[in-house]
Structure 1
Amino acid sequence: MLKLIGLCVLAGVLVAGMLFPVAGAAGVISNQASETVDKTSSDLADIPPPLVTTITDNTGKQIATLYKQYRIPTTETQINDAMKWALISVEDKRFYEHNGVDWKGTLRAAVSNTTGGDTQGASTLTQQYVKNYLINVVYRDDKPGQKRAQEQSVARKLKEARIAIQLETKLNKMQILTGYLNVVEFSREIYGVGAAANAYFNTPVEKLSVPQAALLAGLVNNPAVNDPWKNPAKATERRNLVLDRMVDNQKLAKADAERFKGEPLGVVEGGPKKPASNCVGAGPENGFFCQYVEDYLLKSGMTLDDLYTGGYQIKTTLDERANHEAKVSAETQVKKTQDNVANTLSLVKPGKNRHEVVALAANRDYGLHADQGQTTFALPSGVYNTGGAGSAYKVFTAAAALEAGVAGINTPLPVPDFYTSSVFAGGGNKCAPTGPPLRSRWYCLGNAGDYNPAGGVMSLQQALATSPNTAFVNLEEKVGSTGPIVEMARKLGMRDTMASNLGGGTVDPKSDNPGANASQLQAFGPRPGWPGNASFTLGPAPLSGLELANVGATIMSGGVWCPPTPLTGVTDRDGKPVPVKESPCEQVVPEGLANTLAVGMSKDSSPGGTSFAAANGVRWNRPVMGKTGTTQSNGSGTYLGATPQLAGAAMVFRPKGGNGGLCYLGPGNVNTRCENMFGGKTPAQTWFGAMSKILEGQEPLPLPAPDPKYMGAGR
């Protein structure tokens, strides 16, 4: 009796469902229900399915894919008869006869399910399209929404049926079939038949054979259970069922079906063939560049979800040959598995309209296996060198002195062996340890080497080449405070670096830790009653190697700063250009100042300069501006160098931090067991080793001509 009552109620519901189009027009369905159905229909039309974003190098060669759902869009013409009839035969035999809902099949299934017979679904392909679109597209990040889209209730089935009927008035059958085959999941985050054909059989969708198409058509019913790698017997059984249904539907000869049943599944070995879904897919060499592309786009305003689902084509500025040479040179100097030693090289192309990033490399491979020397930290581009740049920051002191007119590149500077600053020591001459930058009021220092220049003085150009500490603290005094110097660092390119705190992280104003609650610009700059922290010229704080490379590009571009961009162009899924918000280029210092500073830095690779041995080791014979840097206790080293064609910064540092220095025992033999590293060793050797290969065959270009106005002091 209860079953009979249930069947009567069900029959009434189904009759109402079959009258949906009429009832809707007559206003029988409530306005609220109609609005819900209309909104869902609108979502199906307005919310596009997630697609794969592709990243290429500067030639258009693919280097990586980013995605949440692996999907290769398939057009109507790509779906061959084998795939078309395999799916229709097993899922919806009357697909071309109904108007979105197969009421005959629905009534049959309802009776069977209600009376305790075999459980039957009876959903048409149009209804399945609606459900799969809601689950895989509209509610893909909404678990409650996905649950609602597949709950076993009459109300849900009726709403789904009405949407299916509406859909059939807007799309033809082939459009519906194509839409379904583009959204349905084929297990393991493989969505759509285009991706499935590639992942399962390494073949384009239009070339799927009958047994291949039958396997895929059989999967959609229950992808996990019918997985051919986990359950090959079940997958074979399901494939063969599809072949039988094709015979029943008169779309396949029985003899052919029997022959196909005897064939192996034919899927690729070891699991589905699909690309990595993130920058790991760019490989050990190109992964760091891919990571910078991602970081750059997120900083420009794109969301992570949009980037990984938007189906963008991103053409980058990556020069794979240059990146390879940078990687080889970095790894030649420091082994990839060397514990707590990172060696990076970042290269930027100078220009007055763009500063294109050409290469981002490290001795370590980009990847997830730390025991194999891999990392996903953005070592060449992020603010990860917590050891500091050392004396490479003397470039900013020199530039600020030129801008203030207190020195030119030929101005003689005193070079005592030991110096206590009368300006930065709070007015006294007492020598005491400097302590934390925000608290110290005393500043004294000595030189790392024995200079003894003639007359106790040397020109600023000589000082840039030989790097005596005392000369540059004296120059800071001439500038008057660190204010113009730290601002010069920011202007020339250290934007993210100077905005970070003394740990290299994001500033936290609520922190009680003075190393965390202020930016480097604030920490090293002047405050009321104090002219600033003079140690800034010795580069003791965290920095980005890419930004240091961009400083070289700014100087070599006549003082024009541009953001270091990794992008050539971005297009959307329809091939339309996508504007990317990038900071405009700025003339940050006069062109004459930049040109003169480049000449002032041109003696570092000459005899007596700190990078001479490295340059001479590759028989360097090109004009180049350069500056080495070494931090306290030899804990890190840098080399900033630039030619008119290319600027770059090499850094060796301890990525895990910790106390102690770096030990240089020759190329390929660097560790943390002693303290004798200098910027002229591993960093300069990395830079010259790569650049000598990258620029091979290109004509040597001269440095820009200096401006007499910046040759001496007293303007």
Structure 2
Amino acid sequence: MAYKGSGGAAVRQAVNFLGVSVLSGVVLAGIALPVVGAMGLGVKDTAEGFDELPGELKQPTLSQASHILDVNGGEIATVFSRDRTIVDLKDISPTMQQAIIAIEDDRFYEHGAVDLKGILRALTKNAESGEVSEGASTLTQQYVKNVFVEEAGDDAGAVAQATKQTLGRKIKELKYSIQLEEELGKKKILENYLNITFFGQQAYGVEAAAKRYFSKSAKDLNLTESALLAGVVQSPSRFDPINDEHEAKKRRNMVLQRMYEVGDISKREVEEAKKKPLGLKVSKAKNGCITAVDGAGFFCDYVREIFLSDPTFGKSKKARAKRWNEGGLTIKTTLDPKAQKSAQAAANNHVNASDPVAAAVTLVEPGTGKIRAMAQSRPYGFGKSETVINYSVDDAMGGGAGYQPGSTFKPITAAAALEKGISPAKVYPSPYEMPWPDMTNCAGETLRDPGTVPNESESEKGPYYMTEAMKMSVNTYFVSLEADTGLCDVTKMARSLGIKERASGEELGVGASFTLGVNEVSPLTMASAYAAFANRGVYCAPRAIESVRDAQGKKVRAPGPDCKRAMTEKTADTINAMLKGVVDFGTGQQAGLSDRASAGKTGTTDFRYAAWFVGYTPNMSAAVWMGDPEHKRKMIDITIGGKYYPKVYGADGPAPIWRDAVSGALEGKPDPDFVDIKLPEPEKPKSKGKPKNKEKDKEDREPDISLPGDITDGGTPGGRNKGRD
């Protein structure tokens, strides 16, 4: 029965009356309810309620799985709130279509929205048995019920209400079924039904079910496989073939028998099919970033955080969350699988998951901001020696409170000084120890800090000029340089390089010790900042997403590059030359690459809570952090990755990890050089003491010292500072 054409309204009225009349009495036997009369309701009242229902059924966007891909199109992970892949009816095997109709609604193509003949049959059987042994809902009505369930989402209360056996719900199903039969037609209803229905084992829709139980597509299901899936629908838990093979086989054979009775298969086919085993080839549900390979789970999680926080994907947090949960997205990311594999191997080779400290490695491409790798020594997960905290990113993006970067901050002060016109030949006395100079912040306030700042040892004293001070990481030089440059200009340079706040989301603490790296930041932030040096002064905000397409393959707007000039090319080229000297002759020699130009800076904090190496080539920037994420374990007298360290420094802990990660990531790729410039000699002759041990990195010998400007109070002078190199 179809309701199309000019007579549709009249037919609809007749069906309304007949359908409600039946629902008012005999049909309720099929849902174990007393007749309407016993409830004090009449047909007239029910029919009026029927007419008052909204005229249109709002069909929800079905939640599907989304696929997160690397830059080459390889799958990083599949994520879903409901594992579903919508397919056209032509992509569902004919035997699957026949099986579901045979067992659920064998007169589907013959009746309209309500099967009166089926109702009477169900009523008779239920009356004979004295219980509800057979229902009378059509596939269309079942589809409508599933729409209500889909709209309820994961709200248990809403799901219970949507499936509650009430007269009101049955009447709603009836009216909306009439509407859908008119609007969609039988084949579209069958397609929708097979895509929305739950098949157990986290599989929604027949395509996901075929993948789950038989590791194949729905279009390739054979007779026995189709019968099994059709049988599961009635009770996914009772007829679960994975957990109860006996019950599942009984139900499958019942479906096969019904297919024979309605003429879909021959007697020989049904007899042979019933003898066959279930033939399961189960593929476990792989949902979420925990399934990502090569340690890419943290990057995968970062992609999710980007999607949920970026207004490009929705005006409100609620809108973005709804879009993510609906899924069906194909998200192509910036992750380079070769770089990721190299970064993860480097972390694992130097730091064990069970070690008392951890390491994080982040690689960013200069000029684009594209994140090419994000790895750490502790795997993504909830087990022992695992974590879901992404040590590479800020707290708001799934990370922690960050880590003080120590002397890796000094090049930022140098860049601000060069931009102000201070020459790299500038010489300061740089004594072993000096009082903190007065500083003026951007609000014009003069900051006077008590105490002194020392260098490594009394034998190490200036004068020094900028190039040499950078190579040897001289504290007193950079504090003097900061004072002359102006604290405001140094903080502005930091912000122009993406260091706008602490990793915790709090404001930067601004004080005299700012240049010594006292503000907690993330490896991603530092890798992106240094990428601006490699990119000759242009900073690009980090990017994780290349493109997004929806379930129909339509391109979804995604955030594009966000690049701006932070310093002149001359300033960047000068910093590159200085930091190249750090790697070639200074504290970062263990990070040097044998086959390509590289530059970088080590950093170590007070009490060895953290050690860093941040460096770059012209085509790759990377930051490596090592330490205790909880800031409790000092890296003194410690074994990491099977190697004993009296003390851990940026030069001997993170630097080798950086070298291995970057060399593997760039293997076979172009090896451009930095712009060759000659750094000026010091402004005047100088004399200084010789280091006690020329073979040992200067940074690696610096003692723990007390510095002012404890950043826990937002930069108020005074207190113990734990963020020096």
For normalisation by structure 1, the TM-score amounts to: 0.83
Q: Distance in 2 between matches of 1:602 and 1:451?
A: 26
Report Cα offsets for 1:566-586 as digits up to 9, x if no partner. Answer: 111111111111112457322
Cα distance change on mapping 1:10 and 1:656 into 2, 3 Å:
same
Q: Distance in 2 between matches of 1:409 and 1:14?
A: 94
Partners of 1:49 and 1:9 in 2: how far apart? 30
How far residue 61 of structure 1 moved from its aligned partner, in angstroms, is 0.9
Counterpart position of 1:398: 414
Do 2:537 and 2:567's aligned partners in 1 also have CA atoms closer than 8 Å? Answer: yes
Alignment-derived partner of residue 393 in structure 2: 381
Partner SS, residue 626 of structure 1:
strand
Matched, 1:677 2:648: yes
Q: Does 1:313 align with 2:318?
A: no
Deviation of 1:413 after TM superposition, in Å, equals 2.8
1:210 to 219, 223, 238: 223
One-letter amino acid of the counterpart of residue 620, structure 2: L
Residues 610-633 of structure 1 show CA distances to partners (whole Å, capped at 9, x for unaligned) of 011342xxx624322211111112
Q: Secondary structure at the match of 1:360?
A: strand
Aligned mate of 2:183, from 131, 146, 170:
170
In the alignment, the residues of structure 2 paired with residue 173 and residue 425 of structure 1 have an alpha-carbon distance, to the nearest angstrom, of 77
CA separation of 1:697 and 1:147: change in aligned 2, threshold 3 A: closer
Separation in 1, partners of 2:99, 2:448: 78
How many equivalent pairs are there? 636
- For residue 460 of structure 1, the aligned residue among 466, 476, 479 is 466
When residues 288 and 712 of structure 1 are mapped into structure 2, their CA distance, relative to the original with a 3 A threshold, is farther
Distance 1:113 1:170, change over 3 A: same
Q: 1:234 aligns with which of 247, 254, 269?
A: 247
2:604, 2:298 → 1: CA distance? 25
Match of 1:661 in 2: 635
Structure 1, unaligned stretches of length 5 or more?
1-7, 18-26, 427-437, 508-518, 525-532
Amino acid at match of 1:550: S
Q: 1: distance between equivalents of 2:67 and 2:380?
A: 18
Q: How does 1:226-375 map to 2 (within 5 A)?
A: 226-268=239-281, 272-301=282-311, 302=313, 303-339=320-356, 341-351=357-367, 354-369=368-383, 371=384, 373-375=385-387
3-state DSSP of counterpart to 1:604: helix
Distance, in Å, in 2 between the alignment partners of 1:483 and 1:645 is 31
SS at match of 1:375: coil
Given the superposition, is the C-alpha separation of residues 712 and 342 from structure 1 closer, same or farther in structure 2, using an over 3 Å criterion? farther
Tell me if structure 2 keeps the 8 A contact 1:424–1:442.
no
Residues 12 and 626 of structure 1: CA distance in aligned 2, closer, same or farther (over 3 Å)? closer
- Gapped runs of 5+ residues in structure 2? 1-18, 29-43, 314-319, 685-725
652-661 vs 48-57, greater mean Cα deviation: 652-661
Q: Does 1:474 align with 2:480?
A: yes
Contact kept? 2:427, 2:682, Cα under 8 Å: no
The corresponding residue for 1:649 is 623
The residue matched to 1:366 in structure 2 has which SS?
coil
TM-score when normalising by structure 2: 0.82
Does residue 625 of structure 2 align to residue 610 of structure 1?
A: no
Q: Describe the shift of the 1:298–1:213 C-alpha distance in structure 2 as closer, same or farther (beyond 3 A).
A: same
Q: What's the secondary structure of 1:399's corresponding residue?
A: helix
> Are positions 1:493 and 2:488 aligned together?
no
Q: How far off is 1:681 after superposition?
A: 1.0
Shift of 1:366: 1.9
Shifted more, 660-669 versus 355-364: the winner is 660-669
Give yes or no for contact 2:540–2:561 (8 Å, CA) kept in 1.
yes
Show CA shifts across 1:97-132 (max 9, x none): 011210221233345546834432110111111111
1:639 is matched with which residue: 600, 613, 626? Answer: 613
Match of 2:135 among 110, 121, 124: 121
Amino acid at match of 2:134: Q
* Structure-2 residue corresponding to 1:36: 53
Q: Report if the CA contact (8 A) 1:346-1:549 is conserved.
A: yes
- Bigger Cα displacement from structure 2, 60-69 vs 551-560: 551-560
Q: Deviations over 1:662-705 (max 9, x none)?
A: 4466864267xx5x111111111111122223323334322135
Structure 1 position 9, deviation (Å): 10
- SS at structure 2 position matched to 1:297: helix
4+ residue runs over 6 A deviation: 14-17, 27-32, 707-713
In structure 2, the residue corresponding to 1:605 is in which secondary structure?
helix
State the alpha-carbon separation in 2 of the partners of residues 343 and 65 from structure 1: 26
C-alpha separation between the residues in 1 aligned to 2:641 and 2:229?
54
In 2, Cα distance between equivalents of 1:679 and 1:49: 51
Aligned to 1:505: 504
- In the TM superposition, what whole-angstrom CA distance separates every residue of 1:605-653 from its partner, at most 9, and x where no partner exists? 122x0011342xxx62432221111111222111111111111111111
The whole-number CA distance in structure 1 between the counterparts of 2:94 and 2:374 is 48
What displacement does 1:67 show? 0.2
One-letter code of the match for 1:689? D
SS of the residue corresponding to residue 97 of structure 1 reads coil
Give the Å deviation of 1:35.
5.8
Query: Could you say what the CA RMSD is over the residues aligned between the two structures, in angstroms?
Result: 3.0
Match of residue 57 from structure 1: 70
**1:527 maps to which residue?**
none
DSSP 3-state at the match of 1:229: coil
Tell me what 1:530 maps to.
none
Aligned to 1:430: none
Structure 2 residue aligned with 1:534: 512
CA displacement 1:432-475 (0-9 Å, x = unmatched): xxxxxx9993141212356636xx22221111111011111111
Say if 1:332 and 1:668, in contact at 8 Å, map to a contact too: no
For 2:674 and 2:394, the matched residues in 1 are separated by 29
